[in-house]
Amino acid sequence: MSLIRSAYYGLSWLGAPCVSAYIAWRAFKGYEDKSRLSERVGKTSVSRPDKPLVWVHAVSVGEAVAALALIQAIIRKYPEVCVLLTTTTVSSYKVIKNRLPKNVIHQYCPVDTPQAVQRFLEHWQAYIAIWIESELWPNLLHETQKRGIPSILLNGRISLKSFSNWQKLKGMISPLLSRLDLCAVQSEEQASFFQALGASSISVMGNIKLMMTPLQVDPKKIGAFQKEINGRPVWLAASTHPGEEEIVLKAHKLLKREHPDLLTILVPRHIERAPSLKELAASKGIPSTLRTEGTSLKEVELYIGNTLGEMGLFYALTPVVLMGATLVPKGGHNPVEAAQMGAFVLHGPHTFNNHQLYTILNSLEVSQSVQEENQLASSVLPWFKKQKEGFEEPPPLKAYRDEGLKNLMKLLNPFLKTLRKERE
């Protein structure tokens, strides 16, 4: 064990009470699930099933949603296994809780203290551990490997800044990465990053977010909403941030010149901002309403979404979507769900957090870049020529998704087959 690794282990052991206090403070502030806080320190009231257990860890919303497609593929091929899905954030569980397949248990991931990690691993006795993306906690990874549990990293991605930081701590990360049984990364560039940090069994798998299962939408809700829209031209600005809403409202006014009955749907990334956006619209002379107000749309020009779990509904309704965090330098939110619902994706120049996703969607001709904010209205306008008739996934995107998932299962099958042998 390196000096840095030993120091981290010792400090995290001694600091466990402080970490627990910090988690309790986060729960008080509403950042943690108060009713399940014990899971964050490795304790649970849920019994371990008497089946081979595959543990999948996904950090937050995007990774958790992407993990569902992988989990479904695993269970289809290996119905004898049970899957433990861990996430870190409360929001991720809220999004996926009604979409969890049968034989899947959700838990919050333990904090990275030796005590919490050891309790977690001792209780669940996983046969295989799969981490999605790049949240690599040293104690969690070390203790998993120490128990001889095959460890797999999928969708590996390290930003240039994180790569630079990890290079300074190579004595800690290199032994852990070198013991990964499989390190499947998003691109050749990422492969070079992980190789430089010590990983050896490296494969390029593409981006797991392109393999996500399309969102399920209630047809009754869609029908009711379409009836209320009554054939009006409609478009959506999704997951927007401060600075983007002003651009959206400017585009709305420009589009109204040709389409006086226009309806713009605006869903901020943080729905608690919805009331302030209603005030912003009023200051621009734009009549608006919040979804939770249940107001008739007849006199409304701007419809502001402020509920959780309904993005699929809005994507299904609209022919074209502006994806937020791209007109301001936030890096761009995941555009795949919108494209899968048959909505054409427009985005600004700031896509650095999901650059690969946007590049692939552009190549499949289901998205387009808007380089200047004054181009937004002219980019939206052509999509009002005909009403959206359905929300089927575009064939090129479906083919790409199916092929990606098939190749990913080829990488995992050698490890998953061992579970079947152990049961025989």
Measured distance CA(261)–CA(229) in Å, rounded:
10
Q: Which residue in 348, 318, 339 sits closest to 235, CA to CA?
A: 318
Catalytic annotation, pick one of 63, 143, 245, 301:
63
Q: How far is CA 164 from the centre of its chain?
A: 25
Number of Cβ within 10 Å of residue 365's Cβ equals: 11
Whether the CB-CB separation of 41 and 110 falls below 8 Å is answered with yes
122 is catalytic: no
Whether the CB-CB separation of 415 and 150 falls below 8 Å is answered with yes
Whether the CB-CB separation of 118 and 144 falls below 8 Å is answered with no
Query: Which position has the token pair 């734009």?
Result: 286
Task: Give the DSSP per-residue string, 170-213.
Answer: HHHHHHHHHT-SEEEESSHHHHHHHHHTT--SEEE---GGGGPP
Whether the CB-CB separation of 390 and 136 falls below 8 Å is answered with no
How open is the CA angle 86-88-94, to the nearest 5 degrees? 85
Q: Which residue in 32, 111, 97 sits closest to 68, CA to CA?
A: 97
Residue 339's φ and ψ, nearest 5 degrees, are -65, -35
Number of Cβ within 10 Å of residue 275's Cβ equals: 12
Residue 209 CB burial class (10 angstroms; 0-12, 13-18, ≥19): buried
Pull the structure tokens for residue 166. 């990890």
Pull the structure tokens for residue 11. 């400090």
Query: Which position has the token pair 């049984």?
Result: 181
* Alpha helices (H) in 300-394, listed in sequence order: 311-317, 336-340, 355-363, 376-380
Residue 203's φ and ψ, nearest 5 degrees, are -135, 145
Measured distance CA(403)–CA(248) in Å, rounded:
36
Measured distance CA(319)–CA(109) in Å, rounded:
38
**Span between the terminal Cα atoms of the chain, in Å:** 37
The residues annotated with a catalytic role in the active site are 63
